[in-house]
């Protein structure tokens, strides 16, 4: 392969693409090379760097989409990143080219996601399940240069849409996009082949959220199933119904998080999906339920800070997956923890509870305008809303789990 050393410019590249006497150009700038492809009238810019006795070719971009001036700027950035990684002991042979398998990028992204402290455990599990179970088997053997809009449609999306709901497929597609965006940010690819793809390009119908399998009419059935469960599963199910909390937030509840004097359940930011601490008012029914539960605990369990400790190690809480499985057994597959959360949201609306208060109780992310409103009015209204909901539940089966009815909260709906 003939290599010519020259002062690189756009005009020089054009000349040699027409001349076809050279296949590679070496610029006067150190480590700067251009790989020519006369048949397609294109060229690729490369940083060629030797580190630890090995030479690495790092693609910077393609001509004519990238000019020589732009490539020189990209060269400096790539050199700094490479040297910093080497000095910090982070350097590894990871630079994918158009010939590299898509599977290599996916595995790289999976490792990056698994090591990330920004992703919660549930997000990591979902990412791994979608990459290993769906994306890798369908796209892993394609080269990066062959990953096109048509390939994504024919080999990934259409087979998935034939098996799953569009909302499920959209989640898988978003993980595909995440993998390549992370690879671009991490500097292991220089072009993102799926950056311009949008799910709406493939699926034109609106994504309708899956309807919950529970309505208030089925509350007596739910309470009857919980009555047959052991004390731990029963309390878990009741807390889900009382507050509409996520299963992951609920199974990590500590006794120390319940402020019985101040009548608050304080869920720390580390346990929430939004990464924001969550305050939930405690009603008299909740306080009674929790105190009754603690009274029947063994001496060993009373010393445990977790409401739902791991069976094999009481020093740790249950996982969200284990909690979901327990609820599934209680419900005999007829409803899930998320169905309870949807039931709460729907029921609160039907009971006339303000939409914003319902969103706040579910710990959904508020807008900036909502935050100002929340700071002044929300706490009292959240307490009133939960009083209304818990009174409704008492009238529809919850009272069977309480040793005595308390009328304290009934006197003032907004206390």
Q: Look up the CATH number of the domain holding residue 257.
A: 1.10.443.10
Quick one: pLDDT at residue 372? 54
Instruction: For the full predicted model, state whether its pTM sits above 0.95.
Output: no
Specify whether the CB–CB gap between 206 and 165 falls below 8 A: no
Residues 372, 298, single domain; the answer is: yes
Residues 226, 319, single domain; the answer is: yes
Quick one: pLDDT at residue 415? 37
Which position has the token pair 């009754």?
292
Residues 261, 378, single domain; the answer is: yes
Domain of residue 222: give its range. Answer: 216-411
Distance in angstroms between the alpha carbons of the first and the last residue of the chain = 83
Cα–Cα distance, 17 to 15 (Å, whole number): 6
Cα–Cα distance, 34 to 37 (Å, whole number): 10
Domain final residue, candidates 53, 87, 121:
87
Residues 124, 54, single domain; the answer is: no
Q: What is the mean pLDDT of each run of 10 residues along the chain (415 residues)?
A: 82 87 85 84 83 71 86 84 66 69 88 84 88 91 90 93 90 95 85 90 72 86 94 95 95 95 92 86 94 87 89 88 93 92 94 90 73 64 94 93 52 35
Specify whether the CB–CB gap between 192 and 180 falls below 8 A: yes
Task: Give domain status of residue 95, yes or no.
Answer: no
Tokens encoding 81: 């990143």
Task: Give domain status of residue 173, yes or no.
Answer: yes
Quick one: pLDDT at residue 94? 58
Q: What is the CATH number of the domain that holds 83?
A: 3.30.160.390
Task: Give domain status of residue 208, yes or no.
Answer: no
Task: Give domain status of residue 211, yes or no.
Answer: no
Quick one: pLDDT at residue 89? 55
Number of domains composing the chain = 3
Task: Give domain status of residue 276, yes or no.
Answer: yes
Residues 266, 340, single domain; the answer is: yes
Specify whether the CB–CB gap between 384 and 373 falls below 8 A: no
């Amino acid at each position: 392969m003939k290599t010519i050393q020259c002062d690189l410019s756009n005009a020089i590249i054009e000349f040699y693409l027409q001349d076809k006497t050279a296949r590679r150009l070496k610029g006067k700038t150190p480590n700067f090379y251009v790989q020519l492809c006369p048949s397609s009238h294109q060229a690729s810019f490369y940083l060629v760097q030797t580190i630890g006795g090995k030479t690495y070719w790092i693609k910077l971009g393609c001509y004519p989409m990238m000019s020589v001036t732009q490539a020189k700027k990209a060269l400096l950035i790539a050199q700094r990143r490479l040297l910093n990684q080497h000095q910090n002991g982070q350097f590894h042979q990871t630079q994918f080219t158009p010939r590299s398998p898509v599977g290599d990028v996916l595995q790289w992204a999976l490792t990056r996601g698994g090591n990330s402290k920004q992703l919660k455990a549930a997000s990591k599990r979902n990412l791994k399940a979608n990459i290993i179970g769906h994306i890798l088997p369908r796209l892993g053997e394609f080269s990066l240069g062959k990953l096109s809009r048509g390939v994504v449609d024919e080999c990934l999306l259409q087979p998935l849409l034939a098996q799953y709901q569009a909302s499920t497929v959209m989640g898988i597609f978003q993980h595909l996009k995440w993998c390549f965006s992370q690879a671009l940010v991490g500097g292991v690819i220089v072009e993102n082949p799926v950056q311009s793809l949008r799910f709406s390009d493939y699926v034109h119908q609106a994504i309708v959220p899956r309807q919950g399998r529970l309505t208030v009419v089925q509350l007596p059935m739910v309470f009857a199933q919980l009555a047959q469960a052991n004390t731990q599963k029963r309390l878990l199910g009741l807390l889900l119904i009382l507050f509409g909390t996520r299963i992951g937030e609920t199974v990590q509840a500590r006794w120390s998080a319940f402020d019985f004097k101040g009548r608050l359940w304080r869920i720390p930011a580390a346990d929430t999906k939004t990464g924001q601490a969550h305050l939930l008012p405690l009603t008299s029914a909740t306080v009674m339920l929790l105190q009754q539960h603690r009274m029947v605990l063994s001496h060993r369990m009373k010393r445990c800070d977790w409401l739902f400790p791991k069976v094999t190690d009481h020093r740790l809480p249950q996982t969200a997956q284990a909690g979901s499985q327990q609820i599934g057994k209680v419900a005999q597959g007829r409803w899930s923890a998320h169905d309870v959360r949807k039931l709460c949201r729907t029921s609160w609306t039907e009971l006339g509870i303000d939409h914003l208060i319902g969103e706040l109780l579910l710990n959904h992310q508020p807008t900036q305008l909502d935050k100002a409103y929340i700071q002044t009015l929300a706490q009292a209204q959240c307490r009133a809303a939960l009083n209304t909901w818990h009174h409704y539940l008492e009238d529809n089966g919850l009272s069977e789990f309480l040793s005595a009815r308390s009328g304290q909260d009934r006197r003032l709906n907004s206390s």
